[in-house]
Structure 1
């Protein structure tokens, strides 16, 4: 389906075209840009509500700034669709997030307007400050640097670290706080309450309406005049606000809150702020999903709704007469509640992903025992460790790629103290359209090298339940369970719990001469491959390892004693992964065998559907069949030679 841009948007290939418009035309352009995003995302999918909420802000920035010389740095990047459309990618925007198409996030290799690659939150201020300091060093004193960060991303500790540093620099830095009270789910914590207090102070809001233009004019009259105005402003703010302004205490000039949907006023405000030196923060209040009523009403649901009818708002789902397997995330959520009903020590922790991880199920059923700690993975891990020291059994649910941010805490605060924290690593393996910033490629490698950790992966939903049950039993120590994004393979998954022996795999299929060892849900691709191979006269054995650490040494002794041709398959990095663990075992026990490892290669894997990426990386059912056939041929050749 070809989507036509509106008449104004059709004229804009780059921001230089946008800057030819009259200020009175900006509102119409915003309407066309918002409608274009709705039209494309409704038929192609992708992130939705976040970009609708910053349409006016995006237009105003590119209208006032001299981009790409002036640099805009987005945080997370969910909200960058309008930016992409205005910066040369309007006609290819329909390829967003599909294999071979443009990325769903800002990406330096894609456009000079994408100044910093993002996908994880709370990075924008650090990156923008680095750019600003470099520009100052090079004598580019006229260059503007703007970080756009949401109030949700501001809960991340890295953002506070950057604010603390930026306040002592004199660099030309503007932080725009996009305040919509949302990340993916509603924001939590004291920062949310603080921002609410600012936005509801009527006396202060009346004062700040006149402040920006006055300071901009005074700043042109020399440092003495600007210094006088600065002291006056601090005095008045301190009187009007009950509490000292957090950002002012960090040496930021604070302006706002302003209406983030008044594009003309935003443009004027940004023009004025260009003339005020040093670190500044503009507080813009926006509505996530602005312009699409259903998205405004249910912002979590419409963060990334998939395909939908833009007229009725009906979200399209795959229709089938047969019952479909549940998502692994939902199996986790319901199982956690079931276990928590039996074990009063269990608590749930998530860093700002209650709906994505299905922790919201426990938060609804047991609000006193489930915690959304904000976008703060490091805190989530150490908070869990603190709970564990008091006899609790915390299930710390974090996306695999986000766990990379809490790695130091896993080692120092959990593993070294041998605390019983259950890490449920959601979105393990290749995640699909979110691409390289979200792929859970490395957790097997970086977790299995840590002492005291158990590292496991279920092959199906029943195994996920049983691993969760096993992990919460007394005296288990730190326990990692990794599982992928999306639907499982079982419809009837809610079965009685059974303990799984730590470090015990299982043989799923007897075979001849060739063995396939799999770890996790990718083992279901091996099942498909073996069914076809059997029809062609090739009979591999199939072993589900279940544990990357500790390895099932009895099982591996059996494998190496009976097979000289072995294939390992994993939805994780080949370097340091389960295949590497098998090779280490073979070397340590002086076995001789030909081992072929299938998994994620040493390269950045781009975005696409999961099945497409498995094929691209060479470990889907077809790749397993090809590797098996090649080994089967070599077996015949070896037999003929001998």
Structure 2
């Protein structure tokens, strides 16, 4: 196999065109078989094979930093930069990350995981290279879906006037995770219809030498051409209006054309957008037919494309929202390009007129939901915890200040597993609980989620966030949602406190401790904001030893707040132990592995209790 001979991009540059085409096929087959075993982002990588090969043919990513937007399409890059033998560990504990990580390879210029920041980062790098007198290009590889994020336009607006060798590669496959929506999508669709423009422009510019912009005749003709184009075709390229040279659209599966275009973009030595048209999931029938399903996929059978699926908090949330919408005509569903992931696809089908997909624009989603709510509707925004971080100012300014009863379904709260640092939802406890007027609820099972969602969508007191994990419920299935604080088990030796899925570990730990002669009280918090001072005094006041377990960061965690409240009331515990992530960004791995590594599982809790008893 040619792929077995690739240990660095230098090896790619030695191959002939026919060998590169063979390499493309081998990479696709390797990715299908590998991701079928480990799970991962398949569709986006299958669509970016030739694109990535061509980039490494023209650019040296040790000198020309390549910044991925989100990083879903970085697998091919990893294969071409010497990491093939590690692919069996993809997204696993102590294994190869599913996203670009500088600690893995010097070819990974910047960490990636959230959308729309690549142009801004690459522009910073281009400016740094220029200040250091280095003759290099900075590259930003961004998907058309990420162009729905406002940060992308802030970066483009600044970069277009920089006159620096910054090359933005727009990987246009017509999708992000959901099919793209909005005005930018329509604009790109129009540009795709003009491939002849690129060929003429290349020939025309070649008439004036290597740097045509320095030729007075070229500049004069360019002014006339621009005036005529605006008169005849007013819908001119947005990128050109921003100051970029626009090249494209280019066939994203034609290595020769891609190589020629990238070579030209490099020689221009100015801000350039290369518009590349690709097919998401290319080369694997199941992924081409259903690219959304194979965007982020669990292990599957490569022969049939069948994946394992089961009940989850997300699916139950979506089903319950559909049922509530049947009773309440004001209920609306909102998503930021994650209808499938958050379980809202059934809502979209059942009530399309009340379903709003705003694309990758979480801040906008929060502000729009505030507008919906202020004008008489009841929006429910289902969003991953890690992505809601980008809407923090809107949560405060647009929702909480007016105490609007917007409902937030905070999916993937806590540790989420294989996607690692950028995707764990370990900060929402802090940023939601500190905002006045917010109520934050934490169901431990599907029944409690149902009860909480019913209450949240009917109350008028203010915004409500319901945070729940990725995956399904555990052993604890009792519905205690109507109480803010619940004592699940009595015990005089130690008090174990937690919320959400941590309760399962607390109960298991209490059972094990009983066999060791230690009686543990278990207290479950259903509401972590606002905390009920009376409940805390009655249930947790004057304890000998209290251990609070949370899968979030330490600063500002619920355990700290409980300790402070009880101390202020003069009834604090003699010994308070906080079990959380501290100041550590949790790596990738299964949730069970991560919980064990931080001592958040039953074994870790038992160990903490027994060490305290010694």
* TM-score tier (shorter): over 0.9
Distance 1:151 1:424 in 2: 26
Aligned length: 611
> 379, 388, 391: which one pairs with 2:373?
388
| Contact in 1 for aligned 2:247/2:261 (Cα 8 Å) | no
Q: Does residue 379 of structure 1 match 2:361? A: no
Asked if the contact 1:351–1:398 (Cα under 8 Å) also holds between the matched residues in 2, the reply is yes
Aligned to 2:571: 591
More deviation, 410-419/226-235: 226-235
Partner of 1:285: 277
CA distance in structure 1 between the partners assigned to 2:232 and 2:256 by the alignment: 27
Question: Does 1:416 pair with 2:401?
Answer: yes
Find the aligned partners of 1:543 and 1:309 in 2 and give their Cα distance. Answer: 43
* 1:208–1:129 distance in 2 versus 1, CA, 3 Å: same
TM-score of the aligned structures, taking structure 2 as reference length: 0.96
2:306 aligned residue (304, 307, 314): 314
Shift of 1:592: 4.0
SS in 1 for 2:27: helix
**1:420-470 per-position Cα deviation (integer Å, ceiling 9, x unaligned):** 111211111011000000011111111111111112211111111111111
What is residue 556 of structure 1 aligned with on the other side? 536
Q: Which moves more between the two structures, 211-220 or 507-516?
A: 211-220
1:216–1:273 contact (8 Å) kept in structure 2: no
Distance of 1:245 and 1:567 partners within structure 2 = 59
Structure 2 residue aligned with 1:566: 546
Equivalent residue number for residue 60 of structure 1? 54
Verify: 1:31 aligned to 2:25, yes or no.
Answer: yes
1:206 alignment partner, one of 196, 201, 219: 196
Question: For 1:353, which of 329, 338, 347 is the aligned residue?
Answer: 338
Instruction: Give yes or no for contact 1:26–1:264 (8 Å, CA) kept in 2.
Output: no
Provide the residue aligned with 2:482 in structure 1. Answer: 500
What's 1:252 paired with?
A: 244
Partner Cα distance (1:583, 1:562) in 2: 11
Structure 2 vs 1, CA of residues 575 and 491 (structure 1 numbering), >3 Å: closer, same or farther?
closer
Equivalent pair of 2:173/2:280 in contact (CA under 8 Å): yes
Residue aligned with 2:551, SS: strand
* Structure 1 unpaired stretches of 5+: 1-5, 318-323, 635-642
Equivalent residue runs for 1:17-416 within 5 Å: 17-140=11-134, 142-200=135-193, 204-216=194-206, 218-220=208-210, 222=212, 223-224=214-215, 226-228=218-220, 230-231=222-223, 234=226, 237-238=229-230, 241=233, 243-316=235-308, 326-416=311-401
Distance 1:242 1:25, change over 3 A: farther
What whole-Å deviation, never above 9, does each CA across 1:205-229 have from its counterpart, x for those lacking one?
Answer: 2232232354256351551155356
Tell me the distance in 1 between the aligned counterparts of 2:499 and 2:335: 25
Q: Is the 8 A contact 1:517 1:567 kept in 2?
A: yes
Do residues 516 (structure 1) and 516 (structure 2) align?
no
C-alpha separation in 2, matches of 1:216 and 1:623: 68
Deviations 1:559-616 (A, max 9, x none): 3446211111112112211111111112211224211111222112110000100011
Q: Work out the CA distance in 2 between the residues paired with 1:151 and 1:70.
A: 22
Maintained 8 Å contact 2:65/2:139: yes
- Are 2:337 and 2:359, in contact at CA under 8 Å, matched by a contact in 1? yes
CA distance in 2, matches of 1:237, 1:127: 32
Instruction: Report the Cα offset of residue 248 of structure 1.
Output: 1.3
Question: How far off its partner does 1:333 sit?
Answer: 0.3
Deviations 1:95-124 (A, max 9, x none): 111100121100112111111111000011
Cα distance in 1 for residues equivalent to 2:195 and 2:224: 16
- State the alpha-carbon separation in 2 of the partners of residues 61 and 260 from structure 1: 11
Tell whether the 8 Å contact from 1:470 to 1:499 is kept in structure 2 after alignment.
no
8 Å CA contact retained: 2:563, 2:572:
no
Does the 8 Å CA contact 1:51/1:289 hold for their aligned counterparts?
yes
CA-atom RMSD in angstroms: 2.0
**Residue of 593, 598, 602 corresponding to 1:617:** 598
Paired with 2:443 and 2:94, the residues of 1 have a C-alpha distance of 31
Kindly tell me: are residues 40 and 210 of structure 1, through their superposed partners in 2, closer, same or farther at Cα, counting changes over 3 Å? same
Distance (Å, rounded) in 1 between the aligned partners of 2:348 and 2:476 = 25
> What's the offset of the Cα at 1:499?
7.4
**Aligned 8 A contact 2:440 2:529 in 1:** yes
Give me the whole-angstrom Cα distance separating, in 2, the residues matched to 1:468 and 1:592. 33
Confirm whether residue 437 of structure 1 aligns to residue 417 of structure 2: no
How far 1:361 moved relative to its partner? 1.6
Whether the 8 Å contact between 1:212 and 1:269 is mirrored in structure 2 is: no
Match of 2:524?
A: 544
Give distance in 2, aligned partners of 1:308 and 1:64.
35
Q: CA shift at 1:194, angstroms?
A: 1.5
> Aligned partners of 2:197, 2:555: CA distance in 1, in Å?
59
Offset at 1:26? 1.6
Structure 1 residues 492 and 506, CA, compared in 2 at 3 Å: closer, same or farther?
Answer: closer
CA–CA distance in 2 between the matches of 1:429 and 1:399? 10
Quick check: 2:541–2:572 contact (8 Å CA) kept in 1? no
TM-score by length of 1: 0.91
Structure 2 contact 168–274 (Cα < 8 Å) conserved: yes
Q: Distance in 2 between matches of 1:207 and 1:388?
A: 46
Q: Residues 303 and 184 from structure 1, CA distance in 2 versus in 1: closer, same or farther, beyond 3 angstroms?
A: same
Task: Identify the range of structure 1 (113-122 vs 562-571) with the bigger mean alpha-carbon deviation.
Answer: 562-571
| Structure 2: distance between partners of 1:314 and 1:395 | 31
